[in-house]
Structure formats: structure tokens, C-alpha cells
């Protein structure tokens, strides 16, 4: 995962995943790395950025909504989502958004 | 700034600000806190989430594009943006996106 994703000219999609972790690793770190590796292999994946302090934020970028839907339905990812809800996350929020404009240096 | 923002039912807007810092504080911390305080006073501001490890991610939420435009043009914020480009950020990217759907626990 590169630090700042090299995304194409908008429009494209961003999935903003914000979470608060439970205590202890409980297999989280390994699965989190695997999910990035797996996401990178999905059709329509453009990149991801991630940081955690009190709150964790992972933003992944996608070409279109169908790619996001397919990733959400990926079997290995579904298993991870289930464990996430049960064990790793105290609370989380997923926001699916369409990037309309971007700029930077 | 609450950890996970309590945003309303979509649609609303998310400004995804991703950055890599230069070395040293150089007044960054104080201004970053002040900008959150100032953003909270703006019309249309819904909340913000922030974390930094190798990369820093701050996502702020807004009711509409005009509110984002007004915040970008705020005088004190303009000063901070200038110092940011000159001193605090090695690279950064701003992405303005429309949240179409959200869910969580």
C-alpha cells in the first residue's frame, strides 16, 4: 500500500472505513494486511490509505460501485467482516462516496 | 472532535485530506488543533475524524459543497493552508466526495 494513492482524474469512488478497535490483537494485524493484499488483486481497486491513533481510518479507492460491491461480497473478505464485527471492532462506520474533485502537491 | 462523527442520513459531503508531514513540529500541532476548533464553528460542518501514522488522514464532513467552499476561503484557514504548503507538508492530497451510502455498528 503506497502512502498517498495515485488515483486517476475524478470521478472515482472512496470507501471511508472508520473504526475503534477492541483491546488486544486477536489476529487483527495479520488479517488487516491480508485484506489489503487481497483488495489490491480486485478489479477496480485504485489504492488505499490507512492510519490509526485513537480512531482508525482506512480509505480505499475504486473505479466504480460494482467493484466495491464485489469486494464486499468476496468470500475471504466476508469472513474477515464477520470476525471484525464480533471481535476486532468496538464500533465502526463505512461510508461510500463519489470523489468529484481532487487536488494536491 | 469526536472519534467517529455522528453524521446524518446521506447524502452529505466528505473532504478526505491525506498528507505526509515534513520533519519537526514548526507550529503544526497548535494550528491543526485551532483549525478543528474553527471548522466546528462553520456553517454546514458535521464532524471530523483524524489519525496519523506514516500518512495522516483527516476526513471532515459537510452538508453541502458551498460550506466546503466557504471553509476553504476562510481567512485564518487560508493562512494555515499557505504555511501547510510551504512548511508542514511534504505532499498532500485533498479529495472532495459525496457520501451516497453509509452503515456501521
Please state the ipTM of this predicted complex: 0.95
Decide: helix, strand or coil at residue A83: helix
Q: Are A17 and A48 in contact (CB under 8 A)?
A: no
Contact B98 A98 (CB under 8 A): yes
- Nearest CB among A5, A51, A98 relative to B51 is that of A51
Residues of B in Cβ contact (< 8 Å) with A102: 93-96
Q: Is B66 on the interface with A (CB under 8 A)?
A: no
Residue of A nearest to B4 (CA): A18
- Nearest CB among B4, B94, B96 relative to A91 is that of B4
Q: pLDDT tens across B61-86, in order?
A: 999 999 999 999 999 999 999 999 99
Q: pLDDT tens across B3-40, in order?
A: 899 999 999 999 999 999 999 999 999 999 999 999 99
- Quote the pTM value: 0.96
Q: Give B59: exposed, middle or buried? Use CB within 10 Å, 0-12, 13-18, 19+.
A: buried
Contact B18 A4 (CB under 8 A): yes
Amino acid at each position: 500500500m503506497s502512502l498517498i494513492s495515485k488515483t486517476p482524474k475524478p470521478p472515482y469512488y472512496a470507501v471511508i472505513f472508520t473504526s475503534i478497535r477492541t483491546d488486544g490483537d486477536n489476529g487483527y494485524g495479520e488479517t488487516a494486511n491480508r485484506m489489503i493484499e487481497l483488495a489490491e488483486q480486485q478489479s477496480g481497486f485504485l489504492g488505499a490509505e490507512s492510519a490509526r491513533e485513537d480512531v482508525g481510518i482506512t480509505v480505499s479507492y475504486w473505479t466504480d460501485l460494482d467493484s466495491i460491491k464485489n469486494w464486499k461480497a468476496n468470500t475471504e473478505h466476508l469472513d474477515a467482516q464477520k470476525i471484525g464485527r464480533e471481535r476486532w471492532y468496538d464500533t465502526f462506520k463505512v461510508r461510500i462516496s463519489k470523489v468529484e474533485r481532487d487536488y494536491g502537491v
